[in-house]
Chain A
Amino acid sequence: MRKSFSWNELLITGLIKVSGYSAILFVGLILFFLLREGLPTLGEVPLSEVFSKRWYPIEDYFGILPLLGGSLIVTLGATMIAVPIGISTAIFISEIAPRWAREILKPLIELLAGLPSVVLGFLGVLIFTSLLRRALNLPTGLTAFTGSFLLGGIAIPTIVSVAEDALDAVPRSYRDGALALGATKWQTIWRVTLPAARSGVLTAIMLGIGRAIGETMAVMMVTGNAPVLPVRLSMLFSPVRTMTATIAAEMGEVASGSVHFHVLFLIGIILFLISLIVNVIASAVVFRQRKRSERILS
């Protein structure tokens, strides 16, 4: 009996194989086109100028430091809001909430995750900016803090779902063991469950940060339009510009092929690399955690 040969089966299997590798192709394509349009910057603008403090493209000032600083401060603020709230909510859902509360809370978090960021930006512009302005007596409500606030809200669902998965994955025997030794429920959570889920929670935070760095619309709508390098903490309440907002706001008015055009792509490359690093580290942590728990439990 010779092996039977089916052209049909071969074709389909081939298509499936190619599809499997397509992800690599797309990453490559994205990187390629970013580099294609972004690298010319290095020939047009001296590197020292790119890393200077003045972003004023109309007069050929292409310093991206204020933009980096803007992204940094907004993301930092967002992290400080989203992490406590997100982790607390995750602990609540996973360890404390009764069944019915969980059934309500989880869909609500999913709802928040599904809300387009432009809707949150819209609310921010209409309501939050004027609220903030009046409350703190600021010249304008379009500030870094406004952006952090919205961004925090956007990052919360990411942190909650990943952290909650991590807490859920802690084996029941850990909790049971602690309780059997006389610990209260809270002591169990704080001293046993949470540390056991440590790397998953860390991953959640990193992914949340990654989400915050990459957000465009909400920050563009509420952080104002000032590419000023934030150096003091009080500047949290003044306008800034993030890297993402810069690309979104200025690309529309830029001549394709111009220096400005190339610099915007260069900023895109930087964003690509940042997200690459953050996400790869986060997932490496997850892989390692899974392997370790497999070893412990087997």
Chain B
Amino acid sequence: MKRIQSSHSRQLAQRAAFIFLTAIALLTAITILMVVIYIAIKGGSAISWEFLTGLPRNGMRSGGIFPAIVGTLYLTIGTAIFSVPLGICAAIYLSEYASDNRWTRIIRIAIINLAGIPSVVYGLFGLGLFVLFLNFGTSILAGSLTLAIMTLPVIISTAEEALRAVPQSFRVVSISMGGTYWQTIRRIVLPQALPGILTGVILGLERAAGETAPILFTVAAFFLPRLPNSPFDATMALPYHLFVISTQVPGMPVQIQYGTALVLIIFVLGMNSLATVIRSRARARRQW
């Protein structure tokens, strides 16, 4: 017969386990905080108006990173243009129209697949299709399209969840008053799901803005100290810029590296905070 653990030793085991887990969680939290604070401290001094709006000089070793900032901005906007309408429509299909049959399951598997493909493989795909086959060349267009397909699964999943969260009773009421499916979606479901959809879109775009591998062969240029003029131009971009100046350029002042990292973090985390704010405000004003 198994010896029954005494109450004392059970309490001891619990104590030990809790301390261990708390320590790990604490360690993780502190490490994350330290990472951000460290970059902020070391890079803060590099941030100046000139840094943010000036062009780079001296082989990127001084001056500003304006072209990289602008490039990232263009890419984010381009990604949004291609992925948001398509993603929301796909989410509407899955949430409101699709029945539970084999084809729908295949669609879902495809989405899971897209979500798991390594970012560098997206880069290869973008290279093969947009840069070479369609002959867009290394361009903002190619980069945006590649990033858009990469962002699609995120947008579709979060948008679908937001749509499904809208109570079914609303739809029933609308239909019982003689509304069509589309009228119901347009007038009730979509507006109510909009904050959730927006949050998902922002989080997806935030990820796209920070990615390097998909833009390596599709759009990114390093030594391009002027601004792009058309969607067919290559451009600098913040993540790629950070990568190069921290690994490929000898004699790069450390401060500039930290400064670039800080700008990238601020850009990305700014979007994160925006999404969080939208999410909590929407929750407070919800009428259901």
User: Which residues of A does B touch, CB under 8 Å?
Assistant: 6, 9, 12-13, 15-17, 19-24, 26-27, 29-30, 33-34, 36-37, 84-85, 88-89, 91-93, 96-97, 104-105, 107-112, 114-123, 125-126, 153, 156, 184-187, 189-190, 207, 210, 213-217, 221, 244, 247-248, 251-252, 256, 264-265, 268, 271-272, 275-276, 278-280, 283
Which of the residues B35, B106, B246 comes within 8 Å of A221, measured between beta carbons? B246
User: Which residues of B does A touch, CB under 8 Å?
Assistant: 10-11, 13-14, 17-18, 20-22, 24-25, 28-29, 31-33, 35-36, 38-39, 86, 89-90, 92-94, 97-98, 103, 106-107, 109-125, 127-129, 132-133, 149, 152-153, 156, 180-182, 203, 206-207, 209-213, 216-217, 239-240, 242-243, 246-247, 254, 257, 261, 264-265, 268-269, 272, 276
Q: Offer 11 A-B interface pairs, CB within 8 angstroms, sorted by A.
A: A16-B93, A85-B28, A92-B22, A97-B25, A108-B33, A122-B261, A126-B246, A184-B13, A272-B121, A276-B116, A280-B112
Q: Contacts A115-B35, A126-B246, A213-B118 known; A265 to B128 CB distance under 8 Å?
A: yes
Determine the residue in chain B with the shortest Cβ distance to A11.
B182
Determine the residue in chain B with the shortest Cβ distance to A272.
B121
Residues of A within 8 A of B265 (CB): 115-116, 119
Are B14 and A13 in contact, with the CB atoms below 8 A?
no
Residues of A within 8 A of B112 (CB): 279-280, 283
Q: Contacts A20-B97, A23-B111, A96-B21 known; A279 to B116 CB distance under 8 Å?
A: yes
User: 4 nearest interchain CB pairs?
Assistant: A20-B93, A214-B118, A116-B210, A19-B89
Are A275 and B89 in contact, with the CB atoms below 8 A?
no
Which of the residues A16, A107, A119, A256 comes within 8 Å of B97, measured between beta carbons? A16
Question: Nearest Cβ in chain B — how far from A242, in angstroms?
Answer: 10
Are A89 and B28 in contact, with the CB atoms below 8 A?
yes
Which of the residues A30, A126, A216 comes within 8 Å of B120, measured between beta carbons? A216
> Interface of chain B, helix or strand or loop or mixed?
helix
Are B117 and A214 in contact, with the CB atoms below 8 A?
yes
Are B121 and A268 in contact, with the CB atoms below 8 A?
yes
Residues of B within 8 A of A29 (CB): 125, 129
Residues of A within 8 A of B28 (CB): 85, 89, 108-109, 156
Are B128 and A33 in contact, with the CB atoms below 8 A?
yes
Question: Nearest Cβ in chain A — how far from B31, in angstroms?
Answer: 8
Q: A111-B272, A213-B118 are known contacts; what are 5 more A-B pairs with Cβ within 8 Å? A: A6-B180, A21-B103, A111-B32, A126-B254, A210-B116
> Interface of chain A, helix or strand or loop or mixed?
helix
Are A214 and B129 in contact, with the CB atoms below 8 A?
no
Which of the residues A115, A126, A221 comes within 8 Å of B243, measured between beta carbons? A221
Are B257 and A92 in contact, with the CB atoms below 8 A?
no
Residues of B within 8 A of A17 (CB): 93, 97
Question: CA–CA, A142 to B92, complex, Å?
Answer: 47
Determine the residue in chain A with the shortest Cβ distance to B15.
A186
Are B243 and A121 in contact, with the CB atoms below 8 A?
yes
Question: CA–CA, A152 to B3, complex, Å?
Answer: 40
Question: CA–CA, A126 to B110, complex, Å?
Answer: 39
Q: Contacts A89-B25, A119-B39 known; A221 to B116 CB distance under 8 Å?
A: no
Question: Nearest Cβ in chain B — how far from A276, in angstroms?
Answer: 6
Are B212 and A216 in contact, with the CB atoms below 8 A?
yes
Q: Contacts A23-B90, A111-B269, A214-B116 known; A12 to B182 CB distance under 8 Å?
A: yes
Question: CA–CA, A215 to B119, complex, Å?
Answer: 7
Are B118 and A216 in contact, with the CB atoms below 8 A?
yes
Residues of A within 8 A of B254 (CB): 126
Residues of A within 8 A of B261 (CB): 119, 122-123
Question: CA–CA, A264 to B213, complex, Å?
Answer: 14
Question: Nearest Cβ in chain B — how far from A129, in angstroms?
Answer: 11
Question: CA–CA, A184 to B129, complex, Å?
Answer: 59
Determine the residue in chain A with the shortest Cβ distance to B10.
A184
Determine the residue in chain A with the shortest Cβ distance to B115.
A279
Determine the residue in chain B with the shortest Cβ distance to A88.
B24
Question: CA–CA, A281 to B86, complex, Å?
Answer: 27
Residues of B within 8 A of A92 (CB): 21-22, 24-25
